[in-house]
């Protein structure tokens, strides 16, 4: 027994003398996660309490699953869940491949200056404040707005597009792609530079044109990056941010635009209902976590690429 303890201790000491500096470097990051991500999780218990700020977390009474039951029992639960999933899934299906395609296209550009210019221009929308973006979207899609007018040349009636429930998801997703496509392509461009040039040479010797090279060299080399990002993305499937929704939606199109976060926001505003918000947040986190674990498992089974 003593001997075993001794070995653990000596192994620890040896490890410390050997890699001590590395552990020191990692320490602030570990401390960051403990202080800002693990300690606050203690507060998640208010999802099961009737939290009031003056009573504090410990002083607030336990109410069990009442807030969860409230949420699931709301007549709008099914609708907000459905809208959240539809918006999320549509963004995923159309929004996820967009930066990959852009990165591939930029990669094919031969003039360095031109490709830099294209990159800079496509990053730009990412840096504009969401409030400004949504103001622009509202303006452009209003009755006399740019997009409505252009569409009216193609025979579509000029109207306030955000009054039409059927148009909300397309507007949300397309503007999302416009905002994020350049920024999202950075990581793929970085991965593209890491591809061994000899592979391309070998492929061209075998008679592959640019299209075949993309198909058989570039894409397979990008796949691990794509899969990791896809898995991370599925972890956000229930987290359609309230900010953009609230800036764009209105009562006439709640039918397709009211999501979990906007519903919680309205309820929170009415009554500073912290516990209810925490309960919904906890529910989202649990579902998201299960999804990540599932997709990760699926990916490990089929492609041998996974997060853990």
**Window 165 to 184, contacts with another protein (CB under 8 A):** 165
Select 36 or 211, whichever has its Cβ closest to another protein.
36
Nearer to another protein, 114 or 294 (CB): 294
59 contributes a contact to another protein by CB under 8 A: yes
> Judged by CB under 8 A, how many residues of this single chain contact another protein?
65
- Residue 54 is a binding residue for another protein (CB under 8 A): yes
Check binding of 193 to another protein (CB under 8 A): no
Specify the residue, 115 or 288, whose C-beta has the smaller distance to another protein: 288
- Take residue 189 and report the two structure tokens written for it: 């461009």
With binding defined as CB under 8 A, does residue 308 bind another protein? Answer: yes
Nearer to another protein by Cβ, of 12 and 76: the residue is 76
**5 sits near another protein (criterion: CB under 8 A):** no
Q: Identify the residue among 31, 55, 101, 190 touching another protein (CB under 8 A).
A: 55
Q: Does residue number 19 form part of the binding site for another protein (CB under 8 A)? A: no
Nearer of residues 104 and 293 to another protein, judged by Cβ? 293
| Closest by Cα among 202, 196, 207, 249 to 87 | 249
Is residue 84 at the binding interface for another protein, with CB under 8 A as the rule?
Answer: no
Q: Which is nearer to another protein, 140 or 200 (CB)?
A: 140
Question: Can you say how many angstroms the Cα of residue 105 is from the centroid of all Cα atoms in its chain?
Answer: 23
- For residues 1 and 75, which CB has a smaller minimum distance to another protein in the complex? 75
CA distances from 219 to 205, 231, 247, 289 (A): 19, 17, 37, 28
Give the shortest CB-212-to-another protein separation in angstroms: 31
Q: Which stretch binds another protein (CB under 8 A): 83-91, 176-184, 192-200, 259-267?
A: 259-267
Q: Which residue among 179, 185, 254, 295 contacts another protein (CB under 8 A)?
A: 254
Our finding on whether 305 is near another protein (CB under 8 A) is: no
Which of 100-108, 142-150, 168-176, 201-209 is the region at the interface with another protein (rule: CB under 8 A)? 142-150
For the window 265-304, what string marks contact with another protein as x by the rule CB under 8 A?
-xx--xxxxx--xx--xx-xx--xx--x------------
Give the separation between CA 285 and CA 234, rounded to whole angstroms.
12
């Amino acid at each position: 027994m003593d001997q075993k303890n001794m070995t653990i201790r000596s192994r620890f000491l040896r490890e410390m003398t050997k890699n001590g500096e590395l552990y020191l470097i990692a320490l602030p990051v570990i401390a960051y996660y403990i202080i800002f991500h693990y300690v606050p999780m203690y507060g998640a218990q208010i999802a099961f309490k009737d939290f009031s700020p003056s009573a504090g977390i410990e002083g607030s009474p336990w109410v069990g699953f009442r807030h969860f039951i409230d949420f699931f029992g709301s007549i709008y639960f099914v609708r907000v869940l459905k809208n959240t999933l539809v918006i999320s899934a549509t963004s995923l299906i159309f929004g996820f491949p967009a930066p990959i395609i852009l990165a591939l296209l930029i990669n094919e550009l031969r003039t360095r200056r031109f490709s830099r210019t294209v990159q800079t221009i496509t990053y730009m929308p990412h840096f504009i404040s969401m409030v400004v973006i949504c103001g622009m979207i509202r303006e452009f899609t209003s009755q006399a707005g740019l997009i409505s007018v252009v569409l009216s040349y193609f025979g579509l009636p000029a109207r306030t597009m955000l009054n039409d429930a059927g148009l909300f998801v397309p507007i949300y997703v397309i503007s999302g792609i416009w905002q994020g496509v350049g920024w999202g392509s950075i990581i793929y461009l970085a991965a593209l530079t890491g591809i061994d040039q000899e592979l391309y040479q070998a492929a061209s010797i075998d008679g592959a044109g640019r299209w075949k090279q993309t198909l058989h060299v570039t894409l397979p080399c990008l796949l691990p990056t794509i899969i990791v990002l896809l898995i991370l993305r599925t972890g956000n499937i229930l987290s359609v941010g309230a900010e953009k929704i609230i800036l764009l939606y209105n009562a006439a199109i709640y039918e397709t635009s009211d999501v979990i976060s906007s519903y919680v926001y309205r309820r929170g505003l009415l009554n500073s209902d912290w516990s209810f918000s925490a309960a919904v947040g906890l529910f989202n986190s649990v579902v998201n976590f299960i999804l990540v674990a599932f997709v990760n498992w699926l990916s490990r089974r089929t492609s041998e690429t996974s997060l853990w």
